[in-house]
Structure 1
């Protein structure tokens, strides 16, 4: 379904968290990139599992075929199995943001918790272990897609754990220990900067593309969607979702009564104000995150209501009709214009056995109902189920 209007507040990026300030828009951003994110995550999981286990050879080389060495190899295998389990979880839940994030965090925490244990028994290989830890930190910040805050928490937490292990082990000279701690701080600082810049850049690019899309999809006068959303098949996709899940779908076709008279009597500027006022009323009474308001023609509007039965759509249309008829539009100079509107409704009810193939069927049914209202004198509401043999009882003023 087309998105709701993108206000400046919704598009604000919290630079400290490197996320959109609006949770709903942040979720939209994450879901947009979820296929790409999961592909990167699965590749990182396989790569990490393979090399984490393969480096068990270094344990056997350093410690020999001892019980300690085999325990360390077993720990590496546990981490590898955890990474493979994460791969399976992400593959089975490709549409779940929660699974993606939890898998990333769980595998990283497991691997970083085991790593100091492996290093504890190999003090002579500390230079190699530090290099390995630096690569793991890079993976935390860059290679494993995650929320920026979680990546920082895991990277800093693992570094503190590693530094504490070095201090407790007390196998390094003070100056060497200080150098290693400074390197850990540097690694986290560079990782923080890289991850922050990447997350911010990705969101800024997404924001720009959404703004361009909004300019293409919106009517400049009313701020409603234009007919491009119909031509692009976005509403057919909404109908497909309704068909797939068996949920209801309703549309309301609205037309301002005798709009030509308003233009002729008060001028086109006043007519534009009436149009804008009616559009604002439709948008304010529709559900912000679920419904869509489309400027269908000159003074015609289409309201798309997912998961709304006929009675719900009729009730909403009647509230809009009553509010518009009883709220004159100011046109400047202390003057007001009163107008009414007519409404035709089409509904595909829950588990409908005559589900149409195209969204055009709903528009055609709603149009028929709208013109029935006009024949009956306008300023009314009438609805029908798509494919039904008889109309639903009319609802009029």
Structure 2
């Protein structure tokens, strides 16, 4: 998960999508709170319109714009709080509220043309909110903030021209606000994604075997046993498990060394992952050279067929050990156990299936290794 040096966002779209989905509830909450908070103060500043223009003029000239902001931001806040908005919908709501607020601000500034110094201060505060408190992509925030700054300076020059030195100072101050706002937003992006990356690394370390990348036994007991069993029972589908063990692995370690042994384990794991269904089947490193396959919605015939394909593929991989003086070659023994959970009269559990597969695997060992033994529980 590499983080882009300029935006502070993940370079890989899949990683960025995972982060945004993980943060979505917090993002919606932040958006709703910020919009309500800003709307309240936006309306409160109507008293300054009254002080500057008088009640009747303010009601006609500026109140509709402030009311439009309140309605737009309030609606977007309600959507953020009450509706399961997607990431893109949340960004759209944020952008819509910002555009309406900025456009209304420009209109109000034109109604009070002799106060552009104060308006510049107000715009600076709005830019800080856009960069730091309205959740959006950094590039969207920069475009909105830069465009609004340019429009504001153009209004100053067109509606109430001021000395060049004053205009230059105002422009530089707004550029400074934009620069520090963008840098602060980038830093926040980087810090939040770095935290997410560390959490993901810790989760992977807790769930995955470091050598093969397969799930570990802890994850099996903490998550998979209950999940797969409840799913099989709920839908009344068959469930098959395959327990497999690399043959003569101690001899491989003794004669080739542990580094070669690790290579053999990693290659076997890669084969298992490659030949099972991604997102459906689960590969678990069950022990040193033992692996467990959990195959949802798979009958005994399907499990046997997969195990036989795996057996042939692993035994046919002559490159792992090559021609060696020890006469060793790669092979594995497989135990396949299955139960159809459409049968509600018998209450087998997933540990029952694993135990049966374990016994079958050792039976395959006793019967000469490099073979598949199978059974359907009744």
Give the alignment's TM-score, normalised by structure 2: 0.81
SS in structure 2 of the partner of residue 19 of structure 1: coil
SS in structure 1 of the partner of residue 116 of structure 2: helix
Q: 1:202 to 1:291 in 2, by over 3 A?
A: farther
1:275 aligns with 2:265: yes
1:205 aligns with 2:213: no
Q: 1:34 to 1:303 in 2, by over 3 A?
A: farther
Look up the match of 2:168: 178
1:104 aligns with 2:94: yes
Look up the match of 2:329: 337
The residue correspondences of 1:1-397 to structure 2 (distance < 5 A) are 11-67=1-57, 69-94=59-84, 96-231=86-221, 233-235=222-224, 238-239=227-228, 242=231, 252-256=241-245, 258-259=247-248, 262-263=251-252, 266=255, 269=258, 270-286=260-276, 292-303=282-293, 309-310=297-298, 314=303, 319-328=309-318, 330-331=320-321, 337-342=329-334, 344=336, 361-369=349-357, 371-372=359-360, 375=363, 379-380=371-372, 390=378
Figure out how many residues of one structure are paired with residues of the other and give that number: 368
CA distance in 1, matches of 2:165, 2:322: 78
Which of the pair has more CA radius of gyration?
2
Structure 2 unaligned residues grouped into runs of 5+: none
Query: Which deviates further from its counterpart, 283-292 or 69-78?
Result: 283-292
SS in structure 2 of the partner of residue 13 of structure 1: coil
Structure 1 unaligned residues grouped into runs of 5+: 1-10, 391-397
RMSD of aligned C-alpha atoms? 3.7
CA distance in 2, matches of 1:194, 1:237: 45
Q: CA deviation at 1:78?
A: 1.6
SS in structure 2 of the partner of residue 171 of structure 1: coil
Higher share of residues assigned helix:
2
SS in structure 2 of the partner of residue 342 of structure 1: strand
Q: 1:261 to 1:178 in 2, by over 3 A?
A: closer
SS in structure 1 of the partner of residue 321 of structure 2: strand
Whether contact under 8 Å (1:321, 1:341) holds in the other structure is yes
